[in-house]
Amino acid sequence: MTIVFKREPGRESEPLSAVLQRAAGAADLSQEAKDHVNRVESITASALKDLEEVSVDVEKLREEIIMRATMIAEATMRLDELQRKAGTAYGSIRNAIEMIRQEFADIPATAPDLDDMTDQKHDPLP
């Protein structure tokens, strides 16, 4: 069951603090009503303090989330850049190795001339 409280016409936007001050200052209130208003004021102050603390924590979390999202975005862009550079470098290295292979393949194969080696005298004392 939901209880609906109706406010007096013209006081819909009146701040809570003004209502509580008006109630606490009313001379025709019973002591029980004044005590109740004081309890409501205390509970309200405590709840507002808790809300303020939660708001501060929420703001800190929001800033942390934004900072981490920024770091992830920057790291993603850096990774993409490094991957592209690595791909280019890998292609360059493959091309260089292929060029070296081709250079070696183009060198004619020569066998040592055995006649030159046998014609030499092996005199240890000249």
User: What are the pLDDT digits (tens) for 34-72?
Assistant: 888 888 888 988 998 999 999 999 999 999 999 999 999
Cβ of 93: how many Cβ atoms within 10 Å? Answer: 10
Cβ of 37: how many Cβ atoms within 10 Å? Answer: 19
In this predicted structure, what is the pLDDT of residue 1?
46
d(CA 19, CA 57): 30
Counted domains in the chain = 1
d(CA 30, CA 49): 29
Identify which of 24, 5, 22 has the alpha carbon closest to the alpha carbon of residue 14: 22
In this predicted structure, what is the pLDDT of residue 125?
60
Domain-embedded: residue 11? no
Domain-embedded: residue 49? yes
Place of tokens 């603090």: 17
Instruction: Confirm whether pTM is higher than 0.85.
Output: no
Domain assignment of residue 30, given as a range: 16-106
Domain-embedded: residue 112? no
The tokens describing 110, both together, are 């020569």
- The answer to whether the beta carbons of residues 40 and 20 sit under 8 Å apart is yes
Domain-embedded: residue 4? no
In this predicted structure, what is the pLDDT of residue 4?
47
Arithmetic mean of pLDDT, 109-123: 62
DSSP state of 28: T
Arithmetic mean of pLDDT, 66-95: 93
Torsion angle in degrees (nearest 10) through CA of 31, 37, 39, 40: 160
Which of residues 24 and 104 earns the better pLDDT score? 104
In this predicted structure, what is the pLDDT of residue 61?
96
The band of 124, judged by pLDDT with boundaries at 50, 70 and 90, is low
Question: What share of the chain in percent tops pLDDT 70?
Answer: 71
